[in-house]
Structure 1
Amino acid sequence: MSFPPPFSFQITARCPRTRARCGCFHTPHGEVTTPRFMPVGTLATVKGITTDQLRGTGAQMVLSNTFHLHLQPGEQIVADAGGLHRFMGWHGPMLTDSGGFQVFSLDQINTINDEGVVFRSPRDGARIELTPERAMAIQELLGADVAMAFDQCPPYPASEAEVATATRRTHSWLERCISSHTAPNQALFGIVQGGCFPHLRQESARVVASMNLPGIAVGGVSVGEPTEEMHRIVRQVGALLPEAKPHYLMGVGTLREMALAVAHGFDLFDCVIPTRLGRHGAALVGGERWNLKNACFRHDHSPLDRSCPCPACRQHSRAYLHHLIKSEELLGKILLSLHNITQLVRFSSAMARAIEEGCFAEDFTPWEANSPAAHTW
């Protein structure tokens, strides 16, 4: 399987000193220019943000989650509404995770075997069976542009034997996903696993790449492993992925890690960090996290970030945002969430411009070393 007719991916610029590249991923609902950060809308909503506001952040592609949408409202209701795009009012490209991450995050309420995973619903305790075939059927009804293969994401730490079993299952489940996936207007991406074991990562990259799918993702990072281990995996696996396909690093959305990943050939990123931080009163500014609850902002009437085009920065002061957060007003959480998403989208767009202009290595590889120059973008 290669690119279905509505899909294609072109590399439009390269960095001569790193593996960084710009690209354009064509989908039935529009183009995604890469590198690109993708906001997470787990339940067909990016928390607290309307789709009009989301478009204003510069976001192009949004994620939703198979497992959680299966629980509420149910995939048939979404399908009856005309699919996920119409259901949530987002008309740009969309991607659905398969539920594989919930195999990791909800390990206290599930049982895994070679056939699939049995969950106890966190809502009512009902038995839920998720298999590769079921994950594909749900995602086809949801109707996102990209469906992720069902995989087993091992925890950290885990023994080599445990990770080897999870990786073997991921490959077996990928074959079953391919066999059962039938939607011609939906691209299926495979996922590389292997934990922190280099030989398992190498073998997984080889197996998943051999399936010749429209895109390839790397999972099992940012699951509790030390930062240096994540960086090592990114460096190793980035060099093993098929050049002509979009490369998606799952669950990563910090500036340093995105810059490192782009330098090693990754194109797409997602993370819940921007809205999670916003809900807790924190803002991303120049690569730092600012707690707007702090008293130092009480009398500060300057914008949060003069260079940022988001509503929080264009229309309000740090003092006002501090007031909203201290008062526990919903508006404060919404404004900071919008700001944080805008920051990550702007950062990925700035990397793309730097690649096109031939200065990515000079401007963004300092992020890899976390040097002072990293905070000048």
Structure 2
Amino acid sequence: MYRVQLDVEATHGTARVGTASTARGTYQTPLFMPVGTRGAIKHLSAADYERLGAEIVLGNTYHLMLRPGAELIAKFGGLGKFSGWDGLTLTDSGGFQVFSLDPKVDDEGVTFKSTYDGSTHRFTPEIAVDVQQQLGADIQMVLDVCPPLPSPPDVIRLALERTNDWARRAKAAHTRTDQSLFGIVQGGISETLRAESAQRTVEIGFDGYGIGGLSVGESREEMLPALAAAIEHLPADQPRYLMGVGDPASLVEAVALGVDQFDCVMQTRLGRHGTALTSTGRFQAKAARNAELDEPLDTACPCEICARHSRGYIRHLLQVGEPTASRLLSIHNVAWTIDLMQRMRTAIADGTFDVLRSNVLEVWG
């Protein structure tokens, strides 16, 4: 395994900015990673990722193992080459998707059905590692157990124990020295269990650390103390990755606690449904009041969509069902979030992060 080394270049309280080094390249933190579930960010191409300044793009192991299959992707040289993306890639274990399908779980692994054809499949920590080694991402995640929230304490405890056991097995099964393996912390919203899970995961020893099982039904007020309890026990010189979180308020609050990287499908999902992220909050582009507005989605946004297209034009595209609208809004939302992360990095380095955080929470909190 290649240990991802994080060089922390500046701090503001517990918020930090740095450069993380992988076997194949570096990335700047704090970082937002767009999600390319089936090998593509919806409505975007690899050329778009480059132009928008994405550094890592995610792939979904569950979907890619089913269609087109990990062996086929391996024949193309891995997920990056298969999709035409020269930047870094990360694959999740597929656990979150699997556990959303009401699978049969035992101590050895999980049995689930394909969302495509109903066929039955088996996942173990070892199989998840093998599939992701074939996919060839720069970073892969261990298979974890992700319980919904709220869940009874015994369910959270069992998820923690299985996640820890599966993490040990995943590390033993992982053989690619050019690919990093991240462990995952579980524990629900219990600060005690989050701290325990973090300590036990670090004892196993990974190249970086994901924090999973949050933003799955709990409030932000419940999430943040549990997140802080986990971070307290994670290494300062390795990345901390809050999985599946991408709303602006949670991003800025998690960065304030010391999180380094994030992923979320929200940006493109909102785009497909006619919603833009802006400096003044969510903007419903289809609203009738936008019909005659010759102004950008966000006057403070430097993205190519805001530079070229008006609210009136995008509203027209939505009204007539033109798919281009989803593409334009998705590009804007990804660009807007990447720019927010850049502004956070600058503010941490300048010592003005508290001001930025306050401004973001005033709009999005």
Residue 102 of structure 1 is matched in structure 2 by 97
Which segment drifts farther, 18-27 or 70-79? Answer: 18-27
Residues 1-377 of structure 1: pairs in structure 2 closer than 5 A = 3-4=2-3, 7-15=4-12, 18-107=13-102, 110-286=103-279, 288-365=281-358, 367=360, 370-371=361-362
Matched pairs, number: 365
> Aligned letter for 1:35?
P
Deviation at 1:287, TM superposition (A): 5.2
Deviation at 1:211, TM superposition (A): 2.0
> Aligned letter for 1:335?
L
Does the 8 A contact of 1:260 with 1:365 survive in 2? no
Instruction: Tell me, in whole angstroms, the C-alpha distance in 1 between the residues paired with 2:24 and 2:75.
Output: 19
Instruction: Tell me, in whole angstroms, the C-alpha distance in 2 between the residues paired with 1:371 and 1:282.
Output: 19
Deviation at 1:363, TM superposition (A): 2.5
Instruction: Tell me, in whole angstroms, the C-alpha distance in 1 between the residues paired with 2:267 and 2:243.
Output: 15
> Where do 5+ consecutive residues of structure 2 fail to align?
none
TM-score (norm 2): 0.97
Does the 8 A contact of 1:9 with 1:26 survive in 2? yes
Deviation at 1:205, TM superposition (A): 0.7
Instruction: Tell me, in whole angstroms, the C-alpha distance in 2 between the residues paired with 1:362 and 1:291.
Output: 27
> Aligned letter for 2:9?
T
Deviation at 1:58, TM superposition (A): 1.6
> Where do 5+ consecutive residues of structure 1 fail to align?
none
Does the 8 A contact of 1:58 with 1:346 survive in 2? no
Does the 8 A contact of 1:38 with 1:60 survive in 2? yes
4+ aligned runs moved over 4 Å, structure 1: none
Secondary structure of residue in 2 paired with 1:189:
strand
Instruction: Tell me, in whole angstroms, the C-alpha distance in 1 between the residues paired with 2:209 and 2:225.
Output: 18
| 1:161-215 C-alpha deviation (Å, 9 max, x unpaired) | 0110011000000000000000010000000000122221111011011122110
> Aligned letter for 2:329?
L
> Aligned letter for 2:11?
R
State the identity %.
Answer: 43
